[in-house]
């Protein structure tokens, strides 16, 4: 492929100065026995050659060059289309350190199981060494890793999603010479056999082993595996936070920008909020939204005590179905060129297509068969696009700021058809951590067969926290140490429904009206109504110009249901108790204090 592609007998990088990296690559090559070893430099020429090879073997299909220049379609195995949480393990020395929120396996057992799978698995294939940096290449907040993989599709995606190649290798070498560590990720698609598929995390070793899947988060090890599961463990030991959050900038007509980090479970509009386009009246007044990131946020206290955040990713790995000119015009504009699509359908003239797109007609489905609506959807419900963040019209150059951006507000939110109002503010940091710990969404009949079943997803980290949730909550609480100037914490619910089952709040761009109130609260320029569960806005303090809300909508979006909250806090107490003796007493005390106020009518 180029000067640093070698046969397996010369697996070390000819220019690498880091002995530990060379030794690890040589050990993996000896175990997996590839035909060739290629050290990725991230260059355009390298990528073009990888794409040429994948086009030749049918791994990727070129899309319409006139409508989607530089874009490709990848179809994964039909049994390999999503994360596999039941096969994802956190392997710590002590089982309790992984917590009840993770599947656990003893490290020695996990290594033995994985090494048996990796034995000889790359025969006839190329072993790719992928050095990458999560975050701006020169940022002290960034962390590096190396993924070894036998999938050129993974290499092409990691080039988009991370800062991958020669600059990352140079940083790894510099840090390694000073004793710094990098995350070691070993991946093979194996035979794509669901019965021989595991994703193992070794947080104490800063290591990941993934076998048997070529899909997204199972294979792009810089994403959920490194940036959340390993990084959350690393962040705890180093005094920062690795979170499943978007980061957006909100600029007012006076030119002042506030940055907001927000955590939402799946299907709650995280990407839509990150790329929000203000309502027409706000646009005319000069309001602007800028996108720093849509999925992951790393935060640490700065010298001034404020939390500063970076987006460790360089691209978007977004869900395609439902993305349209109406739901997210910025996302749609982002993926008009230089995009890798996975498991979408295609039109007769070879354009990508998915349900909810609102334009064109599918001809071929995601399995490569003629589209038949009675057989399957054109696009898999978890179909994805991979694209550089810089192609988003709302992308901000501040995403490359090595110092990060200062966070004014942290927002938690879930999908709640009842009880939870449009927005409320936590009273203080401890209350805010409880709000995040207790957040969740109500399921629908289509998903579970029962309406309104509560599934709690603390900080939207249920599938991604790399250690015991009780310890994680305690780590959050530790930031309230008297020296930090912490952001205010809010909770939102865009999904409150009326008696007719319809949404009461219009959502999308109108969510900016709620963000504006939050920033006014941060600045201290607007009041709030105190309730036992938090501080609620007076509807008169939100700019609702152009939003029609009837009496029921106002009552439910801005109201407080004491009896409903009494039942809610009883459930929260039981939930916290489920994490056992490690649960911070401060959170239990906060839950009991609020429950008592609810019972007393205070």
Give catalytic residue positions. 268
Nearest to 297 by CA among 252, 340, 256, 259: 259
Residue ranges in 409-464 assigned as alpha helix (H)? 429-438, 445-448
Give the separation between CA 380 and CA 446, rounded to whole angstroms. 17
Give the separation between CA 199 and CA 188, rounded to whole angstroms. 11
Residue ranges in 350-497 assigned as alpha helix (H)? 429-438, 445-448, 469-477
Give the separation between CA 216 and CA 342, rounded to whole angstroms. 9
Query: Annotation-wise, does 83 bind a ligand?
Result: yes
Query: Annotation-wise, does 295 bind a ligand?
Result: yes
Q: Whats the size of the chain, residue-wise?
A: 602
Give the separation between CA 592 and CA 17, rounded to whole angstroms. 57
Query: Annotation-wise, does 510 bind a ligand?
Result: yes
Query: Annotation-wise, does 162 bind a ligand?
Result: no
Question: Contact 269/295 with Cβ under 8 angstroms?
Answer: no
Question: Contact 472/97 with Cβ under 8 angstroms?
Answer: no
Query: Annotation-wise, does 509 bind a ligand?
Result: yes
Give the separation between CA 305 and CA 422, rounded to whole angstroms. 30
Give the separation between CA 24 and CA 337, rounded to whole angstroms. 37
Nearest to 158 by CA among 104, 229, 226, 89: 226
Question: Contact 463/223 with Cβ under 8 angstroms?
Answer: no
Query: Annotation-wise, does 224 bind a ligand?
Result: yes
Query: Annotation-wise, does 511 bind a ligand?
Result: yes
Query: Annotation-wise, does 217 bind a ligand?
Result: yes
Query: Annotation-wise, does 102 bind a ligand?
Result: no
Query: Annotation-wise, does 133 bind a ligand?
Result: no
Query: Annotation-wise, does 272 bind a ligand?
Result: yes
Query: Annotation-wise, does 269 bind a ligand?
Result: yes
Give the separation between CA 206 and CA 238, rounded to whole angstroms. 13
Query: Annotation-wise, does 124 bind a ligand?
Result: no
Nearest to 39 by CA among 68, 18, 69: 18
Triad 132, 133, 134: Cα angle to 5°: 125
Query: What torsion, rounded to 10 degrees, do the Cα atoms 584, 586, 591, 592 define?
Result: 110
Query: Annotation-wise, does 268 bind a ligand?
Result: yes
Please state the residue numbers annotated as binding site for substrate: 83, 215-217, 266, 382-384
Please state the residue numbers annotated as binding site for Mn(2+): 224, 244, 295
Please state the residue numbers annotated as binding site: 83, 215-217, 224, 244, 266-272, 295, 382-384, 415, 508-511
Please state the residue numbers annotated as binding site for GTP: 267-272, 384, 415, 508-511
């Amino acid at each position: 492929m180029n000067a640093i592609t070698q046969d397996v007998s010369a697996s070390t990088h000819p220019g690498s100065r880091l002995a530990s990296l060379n030794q690890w690559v040589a050990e993996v090559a000896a175990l997996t026995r590839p035909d060739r070893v290629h050290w990725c430099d991230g260059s355009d020429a390298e990528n073009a050659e990888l794409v040429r090879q994948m086009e030749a073997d049918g791994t990727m299909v070129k899309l319409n060059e006139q409508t989607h220049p530089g874009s490709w379609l990848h179809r994964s195995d039909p049994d390999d289309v999503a994360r596999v949480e039941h096969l994802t393990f956190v392997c710590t020395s002590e089982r309790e350190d992984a917590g009840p929120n993770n599947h656990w396996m003893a490290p020695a057992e996990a290594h033995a199981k994985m090494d048996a799978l990796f034995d000889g698995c790359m025969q006839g294939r190329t072993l790719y060494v992928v050095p990458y940096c999560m975050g701006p290449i020169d940022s002290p907040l960034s962390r590096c890793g190396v993924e070894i993989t036998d999938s050129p599709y993974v290499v092409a995606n990691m080039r988009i999603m991370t800062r991958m190649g020669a600059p990352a290798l140079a940083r790894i070498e510099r840090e390694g010479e000073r004793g710094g560590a990098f995350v070691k990720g070993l991946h093979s698609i194996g035979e794509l056999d669901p019965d021989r598929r595991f994703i193992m995390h070794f947080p104490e070793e800063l290591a990941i082993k993934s076998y048997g899947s070529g899909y997204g988060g199972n294979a792009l090890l810089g994403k959920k595996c490194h940036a959340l599961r390993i990084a959350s463990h690393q962040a705890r030991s180093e005094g920062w936070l690795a979170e499943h959050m978007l980061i957006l900038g909100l600029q007012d007509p006076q030119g002042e920008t506030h940055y907001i980090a927000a955590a939402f479970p799946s299907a709650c509009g995280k990407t839509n909020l990150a790329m929000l386009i203000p309502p027409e009246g706000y646009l005319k007044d000069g309001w602007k939204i800028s996108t720093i990131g849509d999925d992951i946020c790393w935060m640490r206290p700065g010298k001034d005590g404020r939390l500063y955040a970076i987006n460790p990713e360089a691209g978007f790995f977004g869900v395609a179905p439902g993305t349209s000119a109406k739901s997210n015009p910025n996302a749609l504009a982002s993926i008009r060129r230089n995009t890798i699509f996975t498991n979408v359908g295609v039109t007769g003239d070879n354009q990508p297509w998915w349900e909810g797109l609102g334009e064109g007609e599918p001809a071929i489905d995601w399995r490569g068969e003629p589209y038949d609506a009675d057989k399957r959807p054109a696009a898999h419900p978890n179909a994805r696009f991979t694209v550089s963040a810089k192609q988003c019209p709302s992308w901000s150059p501040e995403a490359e700021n090595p110092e990060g951006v200062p966070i004014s507000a942290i927002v938690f939110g879930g999908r709640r058809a009842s009880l939870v109002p449009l927005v409320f503010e936590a009273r203080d940091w401890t209350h805010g951590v409880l709000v995040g710990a207790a957040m969740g969404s109500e399921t629908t009949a289509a998903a579970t067969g029962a309406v309104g079943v509560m599934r709690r997803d603390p900080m939207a980290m249920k599938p991604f926290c790399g250690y015991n949730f009780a310890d994680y909550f305690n780590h959050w609480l530790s930031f309230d140490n008297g020296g930090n100037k912490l952001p205010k914490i809010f909770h939102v619910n865009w999904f409150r429904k009326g008696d007719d089952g319809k949404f009461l709040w219009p959502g999308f761009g109108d969510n900016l009206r709620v963000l504006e109130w939050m920033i006014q609260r941060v600045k201290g320029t607007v009041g709030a109504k105190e309730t036992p569960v938090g501080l609620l806005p007076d509807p008169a303090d939100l700019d609702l110009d152009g939003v029609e809300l009837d009496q029921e909508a106002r009552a439910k979006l801005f109201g407080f249901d004491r009896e409903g909250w009494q039942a809610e806090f009883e459930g929260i107490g039981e939930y916290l108790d489920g994490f056992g003796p490690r649960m911070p007493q401060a959170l239990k005390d906060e839950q009991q204090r609020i429950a008592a106020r609810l019972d007393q009518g205070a």
